[in-house]
A and B are shown apart, each in its own frame.
Chain A
Amino acid sequence: MKKTYLKFTVLMLASLLFFSGCSGKIDSEEIPTHDWSGYFVYPMEDVNSFDVDDEGNLYAAAFNSDILKVYDPYGAEIGEKTLPTPYHTAVAVKNGEVFTLTANELYRNEEKIYSLSFEDNAKDIRIVGENIYLLYIDAAADLSQAPMINPFRGWNGEKIVRIQFSDLSVSEVECEYPMLISSNNDELWVYGINGDCGYIAPIRGDKAGESIPTGDDIPESFLMSGSAEKYLFTEVTEDSTLTLCMTDPVTGQTNELMPNVAILDADGIKARDGYIYYLNRYAYAENLNKIERIRQDDYIKDNVPVKLLATEWFSYIPFGCGRTVVESRLSNEEFALAVLSRDHGFDACVLSSSQDFSQNFRDHGSFYVLNDVPGVAEYVERCFPALREAVTNTEGEIWALPLSMNVPCAIYNTENCRVVSFSPNGLTLEELIAEAGGLFASDPSRRDICISANAAIPLLLRYELSGKADALSDGEFTEKMNFIKTQMSNELFGIDISLEANNNIHFDFGINMLTMLVDDKPTQLDFSVNSNIRAVDVFEGTNPAECVFLCVNPSSDNLSATLEYITALCGYLSSKTNDFMLDDKSLYSDSEYISELFEIYRDTEVFFRIPDEILLEPVKQYREGALSLDDLIIESDRKLSAYLNE
């Protein structure tokens, strides 16, 4: 009897163990395939008006030009037409006919078919079926009665009229406080405001159909994606970049689609047969506004949110590519537990190479190997060599996707530096700190030479912080410590003057003297318009780089959707220009500043860091005088030995 019970117990335990999660390896045959090349930019510059016909041909006219160029769906120019006037607000194309809208007139080919009063202002036209819908601002409208749902934008007196093809009869469309119109194939939609919020509604004939309430964010332009559930508009995101977003008006859930997109015209976004065309007035310098096209299915999906894990100390939300990215932040211990226990509750996690467990993640962590995910290997191959090396482990596995890379360097204004006979060109970081310290000492009021001690010390100790054995026991470390003690003990380096404390330096498109580019990406400090700005590296040997990685959780409940997202993200990252991730000079501007930065970013090595308590905290105690140099070396060496060998 006892033996039976024993056998039963063992059997039960074994069954429980079997079903409790000792699941087998991930089935790599589940990887979906996906074509990510749906993003396209038309070559025409300075576009002001455009439309797309039923065959997918694009008609575009430049600002103050009466030439309407025609492009086929592959971007090749196939013809041109002449507009009745170069001063167009919008154009529309139907059955080979071109409708041109000016400030207060509408032309059908060369013939004027409708006029507004002189004070009125036309905004947009759409052709739906046998009707032309014209949106204009009625100068005589009573604005005082309009609801104010947004303190920054409101109803300006817009109205919609319908002009029928057959007899050119005109009738006013009845709808409440319209602001924008949108057409998609044979449907016209209106965006308006009523009560406390916005609304969207279909227009049938002269009447608006049932309205769907939206939020109080009033878009610059909007587009219905083909179904009643979703619409698109541009909005400002948390990091102050304009982003093309898609929002479900019912749930309010917003997905980011494309960054750096500003559609500032009412007619700036259109759709045709599964493609979305928009006039981007933001992404290009010197007003070279271009038409961009995305394939709807690539970006607008009924997809589950991507659940991202990050630590409290570091966070980075990659571009959504049509998906909502939901971030959770955990403490380091909770993060380690989630990763090690193969928690199903997250799809991916973000790490920085400056976080001490990144290297351990690569060596011991649980991550989905990305080699066979479509687009990843191609994208990684195009990245800078340092990034390729950082995301590939000793087994040749791509353990993470590189999202961003920061390389410290000195940015300076040649003209201002010449005035004080100072040049960082050819100086090492130590020499730069010493020179800058000298200039600061001669004039303590100046704040345009700012090198934060908290930022500079990790750069000075980059080799030691990378966890190389015996790094602390050679004379070089002692020299660096003496340098830090003597050169970085005055007030400039005692307080943390970060770049953020000097907004006037890097936001006015001109830098006073010098700054160390540590935490900002070069694209956030675009000085290419100022020919006096230069970049120079200050490190002997390769430049240290800090990288942000995205790792996929192999136990994710939505693994296939997450891998689709990874593929889309690779496509997006591969198409970015001046982003300092890709080793392709053709993707960067021609200015000397950008070229110098490119060379700096090319000559880098990604440094993974050891925990701060091993070296940085003892260094801080040493600077404060709480620890002697010998004790610092002994203590840090002991901890480093334990960290590397345990």
Chain B
Amino acid sequence: MKAKLKKRLKWNTKCKLCLLPSLLGTAIFFVIPYLRVLYYSLIDNQFHRNFVWFDNYIKTLTNEYFLLSLKNSLLLIVIAVSVLMALALVISLALSYGIKWLRKTRFAFVLPMVIPTASIVLIWRSVFIDSSTALPIYLLFIWKNIGICVVLLTAAFTSIERSVFEAARLDGANSFVLHTKITIPMIVPTVFFTALLSIVNSFKIFKESYLFYGTNYPPDHSYTLQYYMNNNFLKLDYQSLATSAVLTSILVFGIVMVGIFIQRRFDR
């Protein structure tokens, strides 16, 4: 017994030692910088460094442009990600259930991932001359991310064993029951993962948006959190930058936690 315990402890120690470099890297390149940003968000400026606690947060949360950027970022998540997921599901279904002509064009969905951003934006600017709405950016986001979503969801669909469907059919299940009781529950984890990935990617659309509008001050409908942070960086306002970065991380963390919570409830 003792020997077993000893062996197990030795194994645990080895495992931890193996994990140590990765943990150290995570600590150095993620955790510590994050803690430093948190610290900077609690002081008045980079030279005097007097603690002002949550004054910066109050200032940022009451700033009309931060609220505008937050609203635009959330709208992008709610509208663009929803449309993206719906479209990706339909296409994945069609690819999985063998619509031949669509299968031949499946590489086209991956193409947006490999085309350089500047080239995409060049085409978009010539197509979408009117920039009075955020539609060009939403469409750009959907077009760019449809590929990865289709790949993931198609993989989820095709990974469901045929034998499960056959067994259900033998038990008398119709198509509706097959999809609602087998297909959907089995792909839900992948759907959630894809949705979360898309939400994270929605924060990365800044590069395309910046190139499209060509300015640090796009129209109000496209002014997202990244613009707010980037402009504060250029204005050397590190405290506003740090505060908005922390708030954004809390937002993303919240969204991820909600997603996990829903997924777990669904699993049960």
Contact = CB atoms under 8 A, between A and B. Distances in A.
A16 B28 contact: yes
Nearest to B230: A333
Interface stretch (B158-166, B182-190, B234-242): B234-242
Nearest to B28: A16
A365 B27 contact: no
Given A22-B36, A360-B237, A554 B47 contact: yes
B32 A13 contact: yes
B39 interface: yes
A20 B36 contact: yes
A472 B134 CA distance: 26
A360 B223 CA distance: 21
Interface residues of B, number: 33
A646 B32 contact: no
A638 B217 contact: yes
A645 B66 CA distance: 10
A642 B47 contact: no
Taking residues whose C-beta sits less than 8 angstroms from the other chain, chain A's interface range is 35 or more
Interface in A189-206: none
Contacts of B63: 645-646
B232 interface: yes
B266 to A, nearest CB: 29
A357 B217 contact: no
Interface string A329-346: 000110011011010000
A333 B27 CA distance: 26
A368 interface: yes
B231 A646 contact: yes
B35 A642 contact: no
A25 interface: yes
A447 B264 CA distance: 79
Contact of B236 (A25, A26, A339, A645): A339
Contacts of B234: 332-333, 336, 357
B206 interface: no
B133 interface: no
Interface in A478-514: none
Given A17-B32, A17-B35, A360-B237, A613 B47 contact: no
A363 B28 CA distance: 31
A300 B51 CA distance: 43
Contact of A364 (B45, B65, B223): B45
A364 B235 contact: yes
Contact of A639 (B36, B217, B233): B217
Given A16-B32, A17-B35, A645 B237 contact: no
A582 to B, nearest CB: 28
B228 interface: yes
B166 to A, nearest CB: 46
A488 B101 CA distance: 61
Interface of B: 27-28, 31-32, 35-36, 39, 45-49, 63-66, 215-217, 219-220, 223, 228, 231-239, 241
Interface of A: 12-13, 16-17, 20-22, 24-26, 332-333, 336-337, 339-340, 342, 357, 360-361, 363-369, 554, 611, 613-614, 638-639, 642-643, 645-646
13 contacts: A16-B27, A16-B32, A333-B234, A336-B236, A340-B238, A364-B235, A365-B46, A366-B47, A554-B47, A613-B215, A638-B220, A642-B223, A642-B231
Given A20-B36, A25-B48, A642-B223, 16 more contacts: A12-B27, A16-B27, A25-B47, A336-B234, A340-B46, A342-B46, A357-B235, A360-B236, A363-B237, A364-B45, A369-B47, A638-B217, A638-B220, A642-B65, A642-B231, A645-B63
